[in-house]
Structure 1
């Protein structure tokens, strides 16, 4: 907890993750929110990906084994397997995420609006893009591209996008 400097009120400490890096995967078995820090995802090897996720307010450093569908948490080195749709979604996102591409190839045009930006592939709609416009993309999960077009990270289907040459 943090004490508010102006009011003196007790305020819950929130994880410090840029809004555009945060990916809400759902609720874990224990009822906590599970959020992935997309900006923390880095490829460790051909089968492993390092990443950080938040279980409620707890920050957890991890490494996913994308071949066997598990992840290890650090420093305790505990191996985990999905026990909820949220942890399965976390692994799907982490293993499919290709990261923020530094080139201009990450600019796409939504060419046939309206187009929905969703929380996950086929997930809840975050917002609808109602006019033809350019957006930034930050990697893929299957046929979906990550974008921050709604002010937070979501996905849009590749069929709605044309990339700049």
Structure 2
């Protein structure tokens, strides 16, 4: 994460909120992004500042998102879901084009990268899908059009 520009990287754990506070100090942590669900969501909810937002986009734990009633009611923390399919369905074509234009510019400038573990020609799509289904990959699996 630091090689991609993160200033601080914290690994999840029962004391996450305290470690976030140690880094943020009197500042605020307004947003947290969660792909895990379950108790990880609750720890992020406890770590954001009052009125903060936890955005969940996946359930890698296989569990529903949990968040403390204290964080929801007394601290005003918001849990919001995000699914890219819904975003595409509800965002006007111009908005999608603008977002992709910004992403392409970041990619072209080398400011946005992602590790690629393997590439496959279209003729080997089945092999690519089997590879993509593997747990704990080190990067994306891409299909490449033959020229």
Q: Which has the higher contact order (CA 8 A, sep 6+)?
A: 1
Structure whose residues are more often strand by fraction: 1
Structure whose residues are more often helix by fraction: 2
TM-score, normalised relative to structure 1? 0.24
TM-score, normalised relative to structure 2? 0.25
